[in-house]
Every structure is written in C-alpha cells, then in structure tokens.
C-alpha cells in the first residue's frame, strides 16, 4: 500500500495506520510537494501555488511554519524525507510510496505488454490494477489555487487509461462486459465523443443496435444545445454505418472507427511522451498548475535520503511581486512599448528609469503595467509598486511612508526601520544595492515626491507615471521620457470593438469612427461610451454618436487635460446613465478615505439595516457595473480601488444638497461602525487577555459577530485592511470624530505590534489617546498610553516610552485600578531592563508582582513573573529564574492563557540549558516547538529550533544540532528576524556562539546571551 495517496482524498498511512495532516494550509503544502515529489520546490513557487493573488506579507513565514509543522507531524521514517534546501524544500518519495507514481508505473507496464488483444490479458490486468488506485476525485479535500488545474490533468490521465482498457477489452471481443464501464464513463463525461464511439460500437456488436443509435443521437442533441456543434466526422460515419448494417462493424478489431484521429496507441496519455510513463517516475511536471510549471532541479530519489550539507544555509531574499493586474483590453502603444524596451539594454549609457507622462485618463498606468508584467522575468528579485496619489493632495503618499512599505516588503523588520526620511533613504538604497528589481511609481505629483524613492543600484529599473512632464527627473538622472498621447483613430475604434463586440462595430463602421473621434482618443472616454452602448443597446453606435455630436459640453468633457479641458463631463455623462443605486454607490465609494475598499465595507455605506461581514450579491453586482465603466478597478476578489481623478470627480457630486449631505454623513458613520465592529472582533482574537472596552457604535454586526475562527484569519484580514484602518483613523481625527478614533486605535494596537509596524503604531495610538481624553474616556486613554509606550520601546526610544507609561500608570491609579497600574509599572521595569539596568528592572517587577498577587492568577501576573525570571537570569541567579518561570507557567495554565504559558515554557527551557540540564531543556524545547507550530508563531518556532540545536550540541549530537539550526535559520529568515544571524554563527562554528566547556569539563551555555 502506498504511503502517500492523492488519487482521491489526501492520505498518509504508515503500516496501514492513518497519519493525520491537520489544517488546510499544511495539507495544501504537502499535496504540492507530492505533485513535485523528488524535485526541489522553491519557496516562491509554493507562494504562487498557494496564493494566486492577494499574497499576504507573511506568506513566506506561513510556508516555513507549515513545513515545520508537517515535519513535526510526520513519523520519523517519513520526516527525514522532507528536507530544506537553499531556496526551498524537497520531499523524497520512493517509487512505491506514492499512489500516482504507482499508477504511472502500472500504465507503463501495460504499455510494455506485447499488444492489447485477446492474448494480452496481462496488459488489461495492469490497467485495471492502475485504475483501482483511484478512490475518488484526485486531490479531494485540498483547497488552493493550484488544485483545480492539477486535478484536471490527473483526471485526463485517468480517462486515457480507461480508454486504453476499453480498446483492449474490445479487441478481446468483450463488448457486452464493457458496456457498464463505458456507460458509467459517459455519465461522467457526457460530451466525450471518444466514449460515445466506443459505447455505440460495443452496443452494436452486443446486438443492441437501437441502443447504440440512441447513444449517438443523445450526443448530437447535447452538442447542439450546449455548444452549437455537430458530432465529429467519425461519429457521423459510425452512425451511418450502423444504419446501413455495415458488415465491417462486426470486426473484432477496434480499427480506425474505434479511435479518433491522432489518438496515441496503447495506454499512453493523449499528448504525453512515452518517457512520462517510465517505471519509477514520480510526478511529471504536466500535473502542476500552469503558474507553477517551471519547477525546480530534478533528481532521482536517493535511498536512503541524502545527508544534510555541512555549509550553513544562506538567507533567502524576499521577492515582492506587487504589480496589480494589467488592464484588460489594452490596445496599441507599440512605439511606447518599444521605447520602454531600452530599459532592458546592457549598454553602459542605458537609462535606469523611464517617465511615462500624459493627461489624466490617457492610459499611463495601463501602459506601465502591461510593460512591467511582460518583462517581470527580467527582474528576478521582484517588483515593487505604489500609487502615489499625486493629485489628491489630502491623500498624497509621503516618501517616508512609501519607504516604510518598501522596506517591509524587502524583508526589513519594522523595528529595524529608522524614523526620518534621510535614514530610510539610506537603508532603502543599501537594501536594493545587489538586487535586480523593477519599481513602478504610479501617479507621481512631481520630482520632489519621487526623488527619495529612486534606488542607486545599476541593476534596478524604475518606471514612473505622472500627469506632468518630469523635466527635472530627466535632467538629473537621464531618465527616458515616454510621453503618452491619445490613441489614433483606428486604435480608438479597436477599443470600442473589444468592449462592445466586433459584430456591433461591423454593423455600423462609420458611426464607430464618428464616436471614436468624439471621444478624442482618450481611453477613459472610449470605455465610458462603450459601456453606455452595452447598457443602452437600443440606441446603438449611430444613436450615441448623434447624441454626442451637437453637445459642446460633452465634447468639452471628452477633451484633454493638457488642452485646458477635463474628463469630468465625460464622467458626468456616464454617471447619468447609471441607475440611482449605482450612482449612489459610486458617490459614497468616493468618500471612503482608504486606498481600496472591500465589498462588505461598500455595502455598509449603502445599506440601511444592520451591518454584515459579507456583502449581498446585489452590492457585488453594483460594483461589477462600476468596474465595467472603469469607475473602479478590481484588485482582488471582492476588493476595488479607484483612481484619484475619478474619486475627486465623485466627491464633487457629493453634498449637492442637504439631503445628500445627510446621506453622506450617515454612510460614513455606518462605514466607521463597520470597521470598528470587524476590527474589534479581529483584535479580540489576537489579544483575548486584554481588557475589552465596550464598543460605542450605532450599528452592530449581525450576520457573523465573530467572523474570525483563529489568529491566522484575523491577521489576514488586518493585513488586507490595515491601510484603510489607519487612513480612517486619521480622517476621523481630522473631522473630530473622537469616538471612532480611539476605538480604531485600540483595535489596531495588537496587530501593529505583532507586525512591527512601529510608525503606524505610534501615530494611531497617539491619536487615539488624544481622542479618548477629549471624550473623557480615561480607561481607553490609559490603555492607549500604554500601547504608545510599547511602541516607543520597540523603537528603542526609552525617553519617549517612559512618559506614556507614566501617564498610563497615573490614569489607572486615578481610576482606582491598582491591577492595571501594576501591569504598566511592570512595563516600566521592562524598559529599565532594555536600558541595561537589571537591578532596577528586578525591583519594579517584584513590586508589580506583589500587587498583582492580590488579584489572583492572571495572564498579566504570568507575564511579569516571566519578565522577572528573565531579569534575574541575566544577573546569574538561574535557580531563582527557573522557579519564577515554573510559577509563571502554573499561573498561565490556571487562567487558561496558553499563549503566556507557551512563552514561559520557552524561557524555562533556556534556563534549564543554562543550568546544564540538557535533557530536560531539550524535551521542554520540543514541547514548546510543537505548541508554536500549532498556533503558527514562527518567531517562537525559530527560537525553539535554535534551543533544540543548542541542547543537542550540549549532548554531543552535532548532526542533530546542525539539522535543528538549519530549521531555525529557515524559519527566522522567513520572517526577517535578525536572530537568524546568531544561528548562522552557530552553523559556522564560531566559538562565541556555541556552548563552552566549563571547569567541570561539561558543556554549558551560561555565557550565551539571553533572548
């Protein structure tokens, strides 16, 4: 029995016992590795396979966590087959251990038999044996973008095997016995003409001529009704031959009437070379999803698995891929695309940047994205993209904020990103120095906005779009100017053709040309007019051209920005043709302060009832209509963004009268309440032990008040919405909506802290504290002051951190909340620990513990006990530290805080190693590693891999130590942690990074720094 089975639901069995592979992400990773068994699979390849679009920033870390969890879950005999390599992973699988490999082996065996006829029962047995391996639809129960294409290809192999078996049975004269099999296949594949041909012929030869003709006629009806097609010539000829009673049909050979033209012989799959069915082959690349078909290096499976390399792993550079989807229906621009190709030349004077300039709506972003996607392969280290919102002054991106996002995308942890523009410029250019990347800076306001974002590397290219001619950029940097004008007439007509349809344009070619002229060649105006034709088919091209011709205002609206005109009247013309519901949604979307909006948030603005976490189909339809006219662009499933020109136009429509203003105000209140409800729900999942302040909202979430099943789901939502939440917090602060500001700020605190978004954490918590004080909500102000202190501490700015902590302590004391005051006093102690003042830190922690004990067990007490243990451990009092950590674990377990208990165990394990108790420290580190993998905490998992390596080194098991350290490097590098450098030093054998030999001759780690 194969160990791994994917021809049906994913199963892993050892000795007949089922091994559980929990969690969908782990099942998907294992399945993809099995589809590429014995090949190296790069991390980027896995990311592309698991996230077709909308890749989260934590994708690399999630991959590392899933692989580590798989290794922990697999039995020892399988675990050694899953190995980490320089840029990815490889799963070694024996020829008999994967059902797909066995399936193909048996097909190859059947093909090798001498003919498939009456004498070749051996071939038919091999085919039946191969097909018996299938237990249902391939890859059942696995959910990921790569699954459907892979399943379709595997099903084709199964189908081809059934065809080969049918041919063999027919050649052996077993027509009657074959009818049930072919009937079942036809029910599964009702439009497959090859099945109909074989079934009809078998029925005819079994003496069932009427049934045979009925099968052909059912196919004819199906093809005509569903596809507007007739059966292929072979089917028609067979039908006629059966009607004539042709004696040739009684032959016992399948012959040409039994196979379609070009079908491969024997059991070879259609279109597959013989080599792909070689004995022992694992999984051919055709099974992979198209986007993952490049694969890795191939190698035969070793026996046993190869030993680990002695050299330490090198860090894997993050590979951002931030380009939005290219615009559909792009036409022309051959000259500009050729000009942009100069960016790829190798001459010494080749430009490093290009500036695409032109009026709004002329297609600058479309051109940039088309070129960027076509040449993405020339930039192996990835692509960065930002919309600078250059002409929306209230929302224009600052260079400092953009650099933070770029540095995060490049793998720089948030706590390592310095404040201030000059330092960020330096760090960005250093990070880019050895990378070959493409930057797309879209919608730039001027040279000053983009100058700090230009890398100095000769390997990187930058593509900029702007409405103004960037002469200073060209003069200073030698950037390639690419001016973009309106489309010529024929290409303008082609835009209409691609949207409206060739038949409509061919029916009125002169009217199409007239309309193209009226649109002035502006792509935005052309698309708007085309959608009007789709929504008003009765008017037709002639009617629309006639309507637009005499109206000077409309011609003015379809003019060019550089001629003193705007496209606002063209937008007005389009909006007039929208329904009342569509125009209302458009107006309200323009008020959204963020860069993109989800369908559920859009519904919150237009609805009148309770809030929903998911959008109704009606709202999705409205959004699709707006997308059709390019008033919004879809960026991912149920997410839309709007160009700032369109947004500014829509905002001009808002507030036209008192009723509109009232509607707008109510919509923004509902939007704010929606974000507060959902963000607070996500926050409660991330920080269940934090005190929950009652929400102050007018509308509540009704369809799913607890929409996040686990931390992973909550983090994914925050990753997607963080920019909107921050923008909404700032917008609410500008409008004096204190209620919204402090609630959003509290909801963002835990997420921004986990993601090390220090700048955003400082900004939002400071705004939140001010808003809470304005509302006289002192409990909220105290919580936000504490968060602000934590943010400054993460910046390593003790002076800035101390004041918020002191404000929080004072506020809690004024509220009579001695417990919270003690907790924040402990934070002040941790601040002194970070400042290298361990004695003062220990005193503060001890005082806080004394107070917290009065209130019984709590996560806060556990945390402060652990912090005190860390402090006294650094003072050399390891036995006291051990006792404190054990108490911290007991307290956390008593109050149900698994998270606190897990971290306390990790610190206890480290203390045991310091005390020389390697076996107990190893066991506890393994236990904590299992917990870290279960909750998906890559930082804790990486630390535990490291501790396991140290424990093994203390025991003299250096091979096991190296294996653990390699896992630690892969995991910590995946999240951009600087702790990976320390582990690399261990792999290099640097004495200061390894356990030393004490005076008693035993290894110890007392000299190694704590975490």
Spell out the SS3 assignment of 648-669: HHHHHHCCCCHHHHHHHHHHHH
Local structure of 391: helix, strand or coil: coil
Q: Which tens digits make up the pLDDT trace of 345-378?
A: 766 667 889 999 876 678 888 899 999 999 988 8
Estimate to the nearest angstrom the gap between the alpha carbon of 172 and the chain centroid: 53
pLDDT at res. 52: 66
Smallest Cα–Cα separation from 401: which of 722, 34, 170?
Answer: 722
Pairing of strands 17-18, 11-14: antiparallel
pLDDT at res. 253: 41
Q: How far, in Å, are 710, 750, 858, 861 from residue 893 at the CA level?
A: 20, 22, 9, 12
Local structure of 264: helix, strand or coil: coil
Give the pair of three-digit tokens for residue 1010. Answer: 């704590």
Virtual torsion, Cα 828, 829, 830, 836, nearest 10 deg: 110
Tell me how far apart the alpha carbons of residues 937 and 929 are, in angstroms, rounded to a whole number: 9
Q: Which helix (H) or strand (E) holds 384?
A: strand 383-387
Smallest Cα–Cα separation from 88: which of 46, 34, 35?
Answer: 46
CB-based burial of residue 648 (10 Å sphere; 0-12 exposed, 13-18 middle, 19+ buried)? middle
pLDDT at res. 770: 96
989 — alpha (psi -120 to 50), left (phi > 0) or beta?
left
Do residues 523 and 363 make contact, with C-beta atoms less than 8 angstroms apart?
yes
Helix axes 193-205, 209-227, angle to 10 degrees: 160
Length of the chain: 1011
Do residues 897 and 859 make contact, with C-beta atoms less than 8 angstroms apart?
yes
State the DSSP code for 248: G
Helix axes 523-535, 540-548, angle to 10 degrees: 130
Q: What residue ranges define each of the domains in the chain, with the CATH number in brackets?
A: 1-172 (1.10.10.10), 334-483 (3.40.50.300), 489-569 (no CATH), 578-654 (1.10.10.10), 676-873 (1.25.40.10), 916-1010 (no CATH)
Smallest Cα–Cα separation from 958: which of 949, 967, 971, 966?
Answer: 949
Question: What are residue 564's phi and psi, to 5 degrees?
Answer: 85, 5
Smallest Cα–Cα separation from 22: which of 69, 62, 77, 90?
Answer: 69
pLDDT at res. 842: 93
pLDDT at res. 611: 84
Which residues have CB under 8 Å from 987's CB, separation 6+? 312, 313, 962, 965, 966, 969
Tell me how far apart the alpha carbons of residues 155 and 134 are, in angstroms, rounded to a whole number: 10
pLDDT at res. 346: 65
Tell me how far apart the alpha carbons of residues 681 and 684 are, in angstroms, rounded to a whole number: 5
Smallest Cα–Cα separation from 943: which of 916, 976, 969, 924?
Answer: 969
Tell me how far apart the alpha carbons of residues 812 and 799 are, in angstroms, rounded to a whole number: 21
Q: How far, in Å, are 190, 224, 634, 850 from residue 221 at the CA level?
A: 11, 5, 39, 84
Which residues have CB under 8 Å from 702's CB, separation 6+? 610, 611, 612
Q: List average pLDDT for each run of 10 residues in the chain, which is 1011 residues long.
A: 88 86 87 91 87 74 84 84 83 90 88 57 87 89 87 86 86 86 86 89 90 90 80 88 84 40 33 29 29 37 37 48 81 88 76 84 88 90 90 71 90 84 90 90 89 89 87 84 86 86 88 83 77 77 77 41 43 64 88 89 84 85 78 79 70 64 85 93 85 81 79 88 93 93 94 83 95 94 94 82 93 91 90 86 92 88 92 90 94 86 92 91 92 82 93 90 91 80 90 78 72 61
Beta-sheet strand order (sheet of 596-598): 596-598, 639-641, 633-636
Question: What are residue 98's phi and psi, to 5 degrees?
Answer: -125, 125
Question: What are residue 558's phi and psi, to 5 degrees?
Answer: -95, 10
pLDDT at res. 992: 84
Q: Which helix (H) or strand (E) holds 386?
A: strand 383-387
Smallest Cα–Cα separation from 164: which of 35, 277, 287?
Answer: 277
Do residues 815 and 778 make contact, with C-beta atoms less than 8 angstroms apart?
yes
State the DSSP code for 300: P
């Amino acid at each position: 029995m194969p160990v791994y089975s994917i021809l049906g639901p994913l199963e892993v069995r050892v000795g007949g016992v089922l091994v559980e592979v929990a969690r969908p992400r782990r099942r998907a990773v294992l399945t993809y590795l099995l589809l590429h068994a014995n090949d190296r699979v790069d991390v980027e390849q896995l990311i592309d396979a698991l996230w077709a679009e909308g890749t989260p920033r934590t994708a690399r870390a999630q991959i590392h966590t899933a692989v580590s969890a798989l290794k922990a879950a697999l039995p020892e005999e399988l675990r050694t087959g899953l190995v980490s390599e320089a840029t990815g992973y490889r799963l070694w699988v024996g020829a008999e251990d994967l059902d797909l490999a066995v399936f193909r082996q048996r097909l190859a065996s059947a093909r090798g038999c001498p003919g498939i006829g009456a004498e070749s029962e051996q071939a038919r047995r091999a085919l039946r044996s191969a097909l018996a391996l299938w237990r249902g639809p391939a890859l059942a129960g696995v959910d990921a973008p790569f699954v459907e294409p892979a399943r379709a290809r595997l099903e084709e192999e199964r189908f081809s095997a059934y065809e080969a078996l049918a041919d063999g049975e027919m050649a052996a004269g077993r027509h009657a016995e074959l009818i049930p099999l072919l009937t079942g296949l036809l029910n599964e594949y009702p439009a497959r003409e090859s099945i109909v041909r074989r079934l009809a012929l078998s029925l005819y030869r079994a003496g069932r001529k009427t049934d045979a003709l009925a099968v052909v006629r059912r196919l004819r009806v199906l093809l005509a009704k569903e596809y507007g097609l007739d059966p292929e010539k072979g089917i028609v000829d067979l039908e006629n031959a059966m009607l004539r009673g042709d004696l040739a049909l009684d032959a016992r050979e399948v012959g040409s009437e039994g196979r379609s033209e070009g079908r491969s012989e024997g059991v070879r799959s259609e279109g597959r070379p013989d080599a792909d069915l070689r004995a022992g082959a694992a999984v051919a690349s055709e099974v992979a999803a198209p986007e993952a078909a490049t694969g890795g290096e191939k190698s035969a499976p070793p026996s046993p698995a190869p030993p680990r390399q002695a050299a330490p792993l090198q860090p894997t550079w993050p590979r951002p891929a931030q380009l939005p989807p290219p615009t559909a229906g792009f036409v022309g621009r051959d000259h500009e695309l050729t000009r942009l190709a100069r960016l790829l030349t190798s001459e010494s004077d080749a430009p490093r940047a290009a500036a695409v300039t032109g009026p709004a709506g002329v297609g600058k972003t479309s051109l940039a994205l088309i070129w960027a996607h076509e040449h993405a392969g020339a930039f192996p280290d990835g692509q960065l993209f930002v919309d600078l919102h250059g002409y929306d002054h209230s929302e224009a991106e600052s260079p400092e904020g953009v650099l933070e996002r770029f540095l995060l995308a490049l793998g720089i942890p948030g706590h390592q990103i310095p404040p201030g523009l000059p330092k960020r410029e330096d760090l960005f250019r250093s990070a880019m120095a050895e990378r070959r990347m493409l930057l797309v800076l879209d919608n730039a306001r001027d040279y000053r906005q983009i100058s700090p974002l230009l890398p100095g590397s000769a390997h990187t290219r930058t593509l900029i779009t702007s409405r103004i001619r960037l002469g200073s950029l060209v003069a200073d940097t030698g950037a390639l100017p690419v001016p973009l004008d309106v489309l010529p007439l024929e290409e303008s007509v082609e835009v209409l053709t691609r949207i409206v349809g060739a038949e409509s344009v061919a029916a009125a070619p002169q009217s199409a040309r007239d309309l193209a002229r009226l649109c002035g060649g502006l792509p935005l105006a052309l698309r708007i007019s085309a959608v009007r034709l789709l929504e008003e088919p009765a008017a037709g091209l002639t009617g629309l051209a006639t309507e637009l011709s005499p109206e000077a205002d409309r011609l003015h609206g379809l003019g060019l920005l550089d001629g003193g005109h705007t496209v606002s009247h063209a937008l007005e013309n389009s909006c007039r043709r929208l329904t009342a519901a569509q125009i209302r949604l458009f107006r309200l979307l323009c008020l959204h302060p963020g860069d993109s909006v989800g369908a559920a948030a859009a519904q919150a603005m237009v609805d009148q009832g309770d809030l929903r976490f998911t959008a109704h189909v009606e709202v999705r339809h409205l959004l699709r209509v707006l997308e059709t006219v390019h008033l919004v662009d879809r960026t991912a499933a149920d997410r839309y963004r709007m160009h700032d020109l369109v947004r500014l136009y829509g905002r001009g429509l808002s507030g036209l009268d008192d009723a509109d203003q009232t509607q707008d105000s109510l919509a923004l209140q509902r939007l704010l309440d929606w974000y507060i409800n959902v963000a607070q729900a996500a926050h409660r999942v991330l920080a269940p032990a934090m005190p929950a302040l009652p929400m102050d909202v007018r509308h509540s979430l009704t369809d799913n008040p607890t929409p996040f099943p686990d931390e992973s789901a909550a983090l994914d939502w925050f990753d997607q919405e963080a920019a909107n939440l921050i923008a909404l917090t700032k917008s609410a602060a500008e409008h004096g909506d204190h209620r919204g500001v402090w609630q959003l700020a509290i909801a963002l605190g835990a997420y921004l802290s986990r993601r090390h978004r220090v700048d955003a954490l400082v900004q939002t918590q400071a705004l939140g504290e001010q808003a809470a004080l304005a509302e006289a909500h002192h409990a909220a102000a105290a919580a936000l002051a504490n968060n602000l202190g934590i943010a400054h501490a993460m910046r390593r700015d003790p002076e800035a951190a101390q004041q918020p902590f002191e404000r929080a302590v004072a506020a809690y004391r004024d509220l009579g909340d001695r417990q919270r005051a003690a907790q924040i006093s402990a934070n002040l102690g941790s601040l002194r620990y970070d400042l290298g003042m361990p004695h003062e830190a220990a005193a503060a922690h001890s005082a806080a513990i004394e107070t917290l004990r009065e209130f019984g067990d709590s996560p806060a007490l556990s945390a402060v006990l652990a912090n005190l243990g860390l402090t006294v451990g650094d003072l050399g009092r390891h036995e006291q530290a051990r006792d404190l950590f054990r108490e911290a674990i007991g307290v956390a377990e008593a109050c149900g805080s698994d998270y606190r208990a897990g971290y306390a165990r990790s610190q206890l394990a480290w203390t045991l190693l310091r005390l020389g108790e390697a076996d107990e420290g190893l066991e506890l580190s393994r236990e904590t590693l299992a917990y870290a993998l279960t909750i998906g905490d890559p930082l804790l998992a990486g630390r535990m891999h490291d501790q396991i390596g140290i424990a093994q080194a203390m025991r003299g098991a250096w091979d096991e130590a190296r294996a653990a350290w390699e896992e630690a490097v892969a995991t910590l590098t995946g999240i951009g942690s600087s702790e990976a450098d320390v582990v690399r030093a261990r792999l290099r054998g640097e004495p200061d990074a390894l356990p030393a030999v004490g005076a008693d001759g035993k290894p110890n780690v007392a000299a190694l720094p704590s975490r």
